[in-house]
Every structure is written in C-alpha cells, then in structure tokens.
Amino acid sequence: MFRIITQRSATAAAAFSQTHFGARLLSGSVQQTPAANAEGKFWKITLHRSTIGLPPRTRENARALGLKRRGHVVYRSITNEIAGQIVKLKEVVKVELVDKVEPLH
C-alpha cells in the first residue's frame, strides 16, 4: 500500500515539475525570491476554475487568498506564504507576474 502511494505521489510530482509554474517554483525562482528583491512586483491571481467539489481545505485556501468566484482576480505581493497557497490551488488558478496593480473597472 505504501509503495503504491509513493509511486502515485512521485508521478504527480513529476507532472507538476513539467508545468511552467511548477518548474519555476521547484527551480527556486519563485519560492526563494525575497520580498526585498521583488519590491514593486505582484502576482495577479485569477480563479480559473470553480472550487465546487474540491476538498474543504482547498476551498479555504482560495478564500484566504481573497478569491470568491470563478474569474475573480486578486493581486498579492510575492511572499513564500502566498507561494504556498498558490501551490495548493495550482489546478484552479492562473498566476501572472505584474509590475503594478491594475485599477478596477
């Protein structure tokens, strides 16, 4: 049983590392960026898919980021804590690096 779980998690980790965000995160370009280096930079986080049907803790992470509904956009400063929350939601969010916060329409 343990071997099956380990193989599945290794497969999931390999698939995640091949994604654009996963490769950047695992290479250290995102997670190890100190806030002083990224001053004036923000993550634009868009809830791309609905959280319906996801585990409660995953939905709570979306709410903690401020994402309320599908298509909702929030801007967050670059920190390790926010990076961890984004990793938990990597399947349902779209993340972009921006220089400034765009005003609401």
pLDDT category at 10 given cuts 50, 70, 90 is low
pLDDT score, position 13: 52
pLDDT category at 103 given cuts 50, 70, 90 is confident
Dist. CA 57–CA 8, nearest whole Å: 21
Residues in Cβ contact with 62 at an 8 Å cutoff, skipping those fewer than 6 apart = 47, 51, 89, 92, 93
Q: 14-67: per-residue pLDDT in tens?
A: 555 555 555 555 555 444 444 444 578 999 999 999 999 999 999 999 999 999
Residue type, position 100, single letter: K
Q: Is the pTM of the predicted complex or chain greater than 0.85?
A: no
Residue 3 has pLDDT above 60, yes or no: no
Dist. CA 65–CA 48, nearest whole Å: 14
Residue 100 has pLDDT above 80, yes or no: yes
Q: 24, 30 in Cβ contact below 8 A?
A: yes
Q: 51, 59 in Cβ contact below 8 A?
A: yes
pLDDT score, position 40: 81
